[in-house]
Amino acid sequence: MHPFAALFLSISLASPITHPVAAAAQNTASAAQRQQSSQQAAPTPIMIAPPVVELGAIEPGSVHPAKFTIINTGKQEVTITSAKPNCKCTAISDVAGKKIPAGGSVELSASLSAPRAPGIKEAAVFLTFDGGLRPLQATIRGDVRFKIVAEPPYCDALKDVVRGTVKLKAVDGQPFTILEAGKKAPVLTNFDVSKDKPRAEYELQWDFTGVSCEQMPLWLFVWTDRADCRVLPLRVRDECTGSTADMDRYKRFWILKEQFLDGGTSKGGKPVEVEIELEHYNPPKRGAVERADWSKVVAVRSRVSELDVRYVSQREVVGGGAMIKLELTPKKQGSFEGELELETATGVGRFPVVFYAE
């Protein structure tokens, strides 16, 4: 059973999957949206235009700058007391301490750094003002999509189902080759690798016959020959990858937000720096922080042959989470798939990692 199976993140808006931990995250997001709505409705002289920049479909690992205008519609000068980004927000202009004259405005710049996990992602800057005015936030939102899409975007292995199929299709209609699926040669319906030419669409067969509950993977990773979509993650839906998995999360007080790490590509064997986001986790005490050192990194270890990992640094983010920066160094060329192990002052957790070295 994968240790980070308790988290669930839908990898397709068209086919959402509900999970208790994900539902809690969705409730938190809904609360934030309600708060933003109430802020906008409240009689405050400050407004952000636009409050949300919608990017639409974006590529994994891409960076998207945006500009906002903070407008003071009142008759008195207002000072921006703080401007704090969330984990995916980068390149923020320095507006903290700036004064907005009556009837005037200040420009705010920020960027969304898209993760390599699919789904709706947001970058946000949280702003506070003097005079007891309500805080506001500026948001950049994008839908991270892959060049190859899966239908359904998961392996539905619930209720004793051990076999199934997933259709994989190139969005641009270009032929591609499936190299591996679940660390094995792919089994494709009506396709003979030895004589058939590459196609733009396949039906991939998956089979978990004989896989124990303890060994059931959280993800089935499909590797292709496309440089712009080397690996496609398929969520494995199974009772063993549900809320009863990774029970140690209750003792260590943290979970990995994205469920897996796609480290991207190393060119010429050079090290690559990546970030993972830890979220504080304590549902029994309604999120109360019982250990202030829950995110303090003690060690990080690689469980992948010929892939080294090194802890670099960490930073706190709005909402009480922590961004951990790691460095991945390949010792060979090709694809890497396995697990990394992170130890903090409160416990140890493992999470899947995929990586490619040219």
Closest alpha carbon to 262 in 353, 356, 155: 353
From 1.20.1250, 2.60.40, 2.40.360, 3.30.70, which CATH number describes the 248-358 domain? 2.60.40
Note the pLDDT tens digit of each residue in 255-295. Answer: 998 889 999 999 999 999 999 999 999 999 999 999 999 99
Contacts of 350 (CB under 8 A, 6+ apart): 2, 3, 4, 303, 339, 340, 341, 342
Residues 96, 102: contact at Cβ < 8 Å?
no
Contacts of 190 (CB under 8 A, 6+ apart): 203
Residues 134, 159: contact at Cβ < 8 Å?
no
Q: Which two tokens stand for residue 285?
A: 């005490």
| Strand-strand pairing, 136-144 and 52-58 | parallel
CATH fold match for the domains 1-41+146-246 and 248-358: yes
Question: Any idea which fold 1-41+146-246 has?
Answer: Immunoglobulin-like (2.60.40)
Contacts of 270 (CB under 8 A, 6+ apart): none
Q: Domain ranges in the chain? A: 1-41+146-246, 44-143, 248-358
3-class DSSP state of 248: coil
Q: Can you give the pLDDT of all 358 residues of the chain as single tens digits? A: 444 443 333 333 333 333 334 444 444 444 444 444 444 434 689 999 999 999 999 998 899 999 999 999 999 999 999 999 887 777 899 999 999 999 999 999 999 988 888 889 988 999 999 999 999 999 999 999 999 999 999 999 999 999 999 999 999 999 999 999 999 999 999 999 999 999 999 999 999 999 999 899 999 999 999 999 999 999 999 999 988 889 999 999 999 988 899 999 999 999 999 999 999 999 999 999 999 999 999 999 999 999 999 999 998 887 788 999 999 999 999 999 999 999 999 999 999 999 999 9
Residue 90 has a pLDDT of 73
Residues 120, 13: contact at Cβ < 8 Å?
yes
Spatial distance between the Cα atoms of 358 and 339, rounded to a whole number of angstroms: 20
Residue 115 has a pLDDT of 83
Question: Any idea which fold 44-143 has?
Answer: Immunoglobulin-like (2.60.40)
Q: Which two tokens stand for residue 15?
A: 């086919």
Residue 86 has a pLDDT of 82
Residue 177 has a pLDDT of 98
Closest alpha carbon to 340 in 270, 275, 266, 265: 275
Closest alpha carbon to 162 in 86, 215, 231: 215
